[in-house]
Amino acid sequence: MTTSLKKLVTAIGASVALMGAGHAAAEIQIGIAGPVTGPVAQYGDMQFSGALMAIDRINEQGGVLGEKLVPVEYDDVCDPKQAVTVANRLVNDGVRYVVGHLCSSSTQPASDIYEDEGILMITPASTSPEVTARGYELIFRTIGLDSMQGPVAANYLADQNPERVAIVHDKQQYGEGIATAVRDTLKDKGVEIAMFEGVTAGDKDFSSLITKLKQADVEYVYFGGYHPELGLILRQARQANLDATFMGPEGVGNNDINTIAGDASEGLLVTLPPSFDEKEENQELVKAFEAKNEDPSGPFVLTSYAAVQLIAEGIEAADSKDPFDVAEALRSGTFETPIGTVEYDEAGDMKSFEFVVYEWHSDGSKTPAK
């Protein structure tokens, strides 16, 4: 009885192994892990539509090393616990390349598993610096880091030749980090920084701060932090007749700032990732999306497209399907993608990722700043 069962299990195991081997010889599986359901599923849609489009187009052109790419989809609901389950399923399914995950909080625990199991991961959306800060070999991204916005903002400010700039932050990791980056870059450019000061997140009264800004006679105020504080600062500054232009990071660029600041949010400068679908060189790709009745304008569509393309070109450049060789090739090569020229540093971050300065309007729309 037991021996026959053992034989049966062995037989099944062997046939599964054989099937797996046959499977792998003909095609390359690309795992796409992101939220298909849950509160941020609309971002997941962007990720899947971009990645699937890239796989289709690469297969049309003959695939990679003569093999077809096959998408395998996984739903992590942007929940860290489910992300770990998904990562383990990917390991069991023998997938060796992943485009995902989306939320930094999911990407972080899943990437631990991928690194251990020798799976190459490219996240098209996670911006937390932590994701690539652990010295992992197989973890990459096709999006910028929170800390990259600071220099972009500072360069823009420096180009305006202001006499004096003030920098305010909310004393938290995100806000103070960006504010410090802005200050350092401005200092290097020789711009006078009249003030560098923290406010308490959750504070409501900024009248003293605004009086100080008035006294310092600054032209620009950079705020590192989120919209609840900046919204109040804008509004109270308007009431106190402070004549200065405000600027902030991605964390202030959402519609809630309009409900708090009202008209005072008009003319606020915000650094955001660019609209890749408006670039001229991508118009052919945009038409391909439109032909499929899909919208390429979401922030993560073309970053996901680029992630698949990088895996494919990495495999070709390495002439090997071993993820470690591919990672090596990605680090040493230069790749042309819809999100621009991609070069990787040791950590797995892009050497440069574009953030664009937008001018915010009180009706919630934005236009590129001059």
Partner 1 sequence: MQDLLYFSQQLINGLTIGSAYALIAIGYTMVYGIIGMINFAHGEIYMIGAYTALIAITGMTALGLAWLPLILLVALICAMIVSSSMGWAVERVAYRPVRGRHRLIPLISAIGMSIFLQNYVHLAQGSRNVGFPALIEGGFTFGSGEAFQMSLSYMQITIFITTLICMTVLSMFISRSRTGRACRAVSQDLGMASLLGIDTNRIISVTFVIGAALAAVAGLLLGMYYGSVDPLFGFIAGLKAFTAAVLGGIGSIPGAMLGGLILGVSESMTSSYLSGEYKDVVSFGLLILILLFKPTGLLGKPEVEKI
- Does the protein bind partner 1 through residue 10 (CB under 8 A)? no
Q: Which residues fall within 8 angstroms of residue 223, CB to CB, at 6 or more apart?
A: 167, 168, 169, 175, 179, 229, 230, 233, 246, 247, 248, 252
Site string for partner 1, 120-159 (x = CB under 8 A): ----------------------------------------
Task: Give the sign of the dihedral formed by CA 327, CA 144, CA 351, CA 129.
Answer: negative
Q: Is residue 286 within the footprint of partner 1 (CB under 8 A)? A: no
Q: Which is nearer to partner 1, 183 or 235 (CB)?
A: 235
Sheet containing 356-360, strands listed edge to edge, beginning at the edge strand earlier in sequence: 192-198, 164-169, 220-224, 245-248, 269-272, 356-360, 366-368
Using the rule CB under 8 A, which residue among 53, 244, 247, 261 binds partner 1? 261
Judged by DSSP in three states, 340 sits in: strand
Contact 150, 181 (CB under 8 A): yes
Residues 207-246, interacting with partner 1 (CB under 8 A)? 207-209, 211-212, 214-215, 217, 227-228, 231-232, 235-236, 239-241
Write the DSSP symbol of residue 134. Answer: T
Residue with tokens 């383990």: 88
- DSSP 3-state assignment of 228? helix
Q: Which of 229, 226, 265 is nearest to 245 (CA)?
A: 265
Q: Establish if 304 lies at the interface with partner 1 (CB under 8 A).
A: no
Contact with partner 1 (CB under 8 A) among 93, 116, 188, 256: 256
Preceding omega of 101 cis (within 30 degrees of 0) = yes
User: If binding means CB under 8 A, how many residues of this protein chain bind partner 1?
Assistant: 31
Of 15, 85, 200, 297, the one binding partner 1 (CB under 8 A) is: 200
Q: Least distance to partner 1 from the beta carbon of 345, Å?
A: 34
Q: Does 197 sit near partner 1 (CB under 8 A)?
A: yes
Residue closer to partner 1, measured from CB, 230 or 269: 230
Tell me how far apart the alpha carbons of residues 309 and 296 are, in angstroms, rounded to a whole number: 16
Is residue 260 close enough to count as binding partner 1 by CB under 8 A?
yes
Of 116 and 217, nearer to partner 1 (C-beta) is 217
In angstroms, give the least distance from the CB of 186 to partner 1. Answer: 19
- The contact set with partner 1 (CB under 8 A) reads 171, 197-200, 202-205, 207-209, 211-212, 214-215, 217, 227-228, 231-232, 235-236, 239-241, 256, 259-262
